[in-house]
Structure 1
Amino acid sequence: MATDLSASFNEQYININTKLKKRFMRKPNISEATNEFIALAIQCEHSEQPAFAGQTYIGAAKCEASAGNFLGEAEQYIAAARQFMKAEKKLAALKFYSPDRENLEAAIGCYIQALSKYPEKSPIRASILLELGKELVELDHRLEALSYYEQAVDIIEDSTMKLMCMRNLVNLLIECGKYDIALETANKICDSNFHIPEGIMTEIQISRVLLVLLVEPDEDTKSESLKQLLDHLLHDEDSEALPFNTDLRLKLQSIIISSSCMDQQSLISIAADTKPFLTMQQRNLLETLIVEKKCE
């Protein structure tokens, strides 16, 4: 059955290309060929053959390029990328991993082709980068996803969208063990002019407390806002940048003191009570902190 489908796909794909070549001496009907490629791609999608669909959308993209329709070309490359990603996810679900990463590399290549068709600061370009990063995270290629999230952050100008993207980047950096860069990014968020909702401010500030205990930066490299955070927290000073309730504030104080004194038992004890206040990434940070204090 699969062989028949493959043969049918190859035959139809070759027929469309042959028609284009036969008209080489005349002006080819690019629009007709584009529509035929898209129709074949949709047929492949319905047959649950995303890799074939991806190849066919690339054919449509090349037709759009020949016609000088660069936005149409970008759209077809994105359609192709999504199909190759779907094919990669199917393989991953079956626990089958190709050493050559054919579908994944094809998907990334198509996304990159689409990116090249938009201006450097285009919001659509940022959306493509975020989509590619998200797909890589879902496939557990987190380190690879980082660069695409970082590129998106550099492009995004809307403050709300930039804040959310930077927040996601902090969490991804924590998952990848890039604690120093995660701390720098969290500092940038707090040092920015963003309007930061209280819930997000609480999350970022907790992460900064845990990260600074892990990274242990020199005093002269700490940002002023980070110094103030630690100072206000330890001296029970109220601040808009310290949106912690009394219970959480006391727990964070205990974590800072236990960590500074390298009292692992106290750290383990307070960690159990603090975890309900933490995100998954922050819980992992706290576990890492406990392990590191044991080794010191």
Structure 2
Amino acid sequence: MTESTGFELLDQYRSITSKLKKRFLRKPNETEASESFAALGQQCESQELPQYAALSWLAAARCEGTLGNPVSETAYLLRAARQFFKAEQEDFLTGCTCVSTENLEVYLVTIMHLKGDYVSALHTYQEITKALQNIPTGSQKCGLLLECEINMVFLLLILRPSPQKISSELTRILEKYTWADQSDSSLIACKMSKKLFLLMQSIVLICQSVDTSSLREIESDFWPFLSVEQKDLLRTLCRIYYP
């Protein structure tokens, strides 16, 4: 991408954004803006500019959210998330491993707003975990791996897939906690603490048992370890197992 191309795309983005500003006695046309942002997103995708495409899809999603269209909002959020992920993968392939992985961080936050599409979220976190294997070990990599690990466990417990429908890869995610296998390579890679491991083990065993009354008791113990999105997942989990 040339510098002039970047400026042109940003100018288009700003032009659409400016139309959303409130005018005297006139409401902004969110529908028109959404269509314009979506068109810009498609343009950026066709030009292989994933970061610009992601920003455009995010803007389109915000418009759809304002309009009260959750289906379109979710669809645009997913497209934005995939473009953020693609941008991060391209950084890896070009050797830009010194970046702060900000694309992945935005991607993680974005997909957690999948309006209850937990199956897609689970598969997405699997993809992220695999992609992170190519990044040199560091605190940021460990943090992202840990976030993915927690989210995958919570999502699996929420979805409660039957043994016939769950893959061996997903089965292994829960088995490490069922069998108290803290030596598992995935736990070593994300540097999960002993206390957090015990909490994860507890919640897996509780959800697999008949009596889930103690689930609420450990919910507050999780709080210091979780992001805002993970707390939402945990609340959902608790409502399912202990309404």
Q: Same fold (TM over 0.5)?
A: yes
Q: Offset of 1:86 from its aligned partner?
A: 0.3
Answer whether contact 1:156 1:162 (CA < 8 A) is retained. Answer: no
RMSD: 3.2
CA distance in 2 between counterparts of 1:175 and 1:64 reads: 42
Q: Offset of 1:27 from its aligned partner?
A: 3.0
Answer whether contact 1:88 1:104 (CA < 8 A) is retained. Answer: yes
Partner of 2:58: 58
Letter paired with 2:165: M
- 1:175 and 2:185 aligned: yes
Partner of 1:152: 155
CA distance in 2 between counterparts of 1:153 and 1:100 reads: 29
Partner of 1:80: 80
Q: Secondary structure at the match of 2:68?
A: coil
Q: Offset of 1:65 from its aligned partner?
A: 1.4
Identify if the C-alpha distance between structure 1 residues 58 and 149 changes in structure 2 by more than 3 Å, giving closer, same or farther: same
Answer whether contact 1:30 1:66 (CA < 8 A) is retained. Answer: yes
**TM-score, structure 1 as length reference:** 0.53
Answer whether contact 2:118 2:159 (CA < 8 A) is retained. Answer: no
Q: Offset of 1:127 from its aligned partner?
A: 2.2
Q: Secondary structure at the match of 1:65?
A: helix
Structure with higher helix content: 1
Partner of 2:97: 97
Q: Offset of 1:106 from its aligned partner?
A: 1.5
Letter paired with 1:75: A
Identify if the C-alpha distance between structure 1 residues 25 and 151 changes in structure 2 by more than 3 Å, giving closer, same or farther: farther
Letter paired with 2:31: S
Q: Offset of 1:24 from its aligned partner?
A: 6.6
- 1:161 and 2:173 aligned: no
CA distance in 2 between counterparts of 1:168 and 1:9 reads: 45
Letter paired with 1:176: S
Answer whether contact 2:57 2:76 (CA < 8 A) is retained. Answer: yes
Tell me, which stretches of 5 or more residues in structure 2 are unaligned?
134-140, 177-181, 210-243
Q: Report the structure number with the largest CA radius of gyration.
A: 1
Q: Offset of 1:107 from its aligned partner?
A: 1.1
- 1:129 and 2:139 aligned: no
Identify if the C-alpha distance between structure 1 residues 24 and 80 changes in structure 2 by more than 3 Å, giving closer, same or farther: farther
Q: Offset of 1:71 from its aligned partner?
A: 2.9
Q: Secondary structure at the match of 1:161?
A: coil
CA distance in 1 between counterparts of 2:25 and 2:110 reads: 30
Q: Offset of 1:165 from its aligned partner?
A: 5.7
Answer whether contact 1:89 1:139 (CA < 8 A) is retained. Answer: no
Partner of 2:109: 109
Partner of 2:213: none
CA distance in 1 between counterparts of 2:187 and 2:65 reads: 42
Q: Secondary structure at the match of 1:61?
A: helix
Which structure's relative contact order is higher, taking Cα pairs within 8 Å and 6+ residues apart? Answer: 2
Residue correspondence of structure 1 range 13-32 to structure 2 within 5 A? 13-21=13-21, 25-32=25-32
Answer whether contact 2:41 2:56 (CA < 8 A) is retained. Answer: yes
Answer whether contact 1:130 1:152 (CA < 8 A) is retained. Answer: no
Residue correspondence of structure 1 range 1-296 to structure 2 within 5 A? 2-21=2-21, 25-112=25-112, 114-115=113-114, 117-118=115-116, 124-140=117-133, 141=141, 142-159=145-162, 160-162=164-166, 164=168, 166-169=170-173, 174-177=184-187
Identify if the C-alpha distance between structure 1 residues 4 and 147 changes in structure 2 by more than 3 Å, giving closer, same or farther: same
* Number of equivalent positions: 182
Q: Offset of 1:5 from its aligned partner?
A: 1.2
Identify if the C-alpha distance between structure 1 residues 95 and 67 changes in structure 2 by more than 3 Å, giving closer, same or farther: same
Q: Secondary structure at the match of 2:95?
A: coil
Answer whether contact 1:134 1:145 (CA < 8 A) is retained. Answer: no
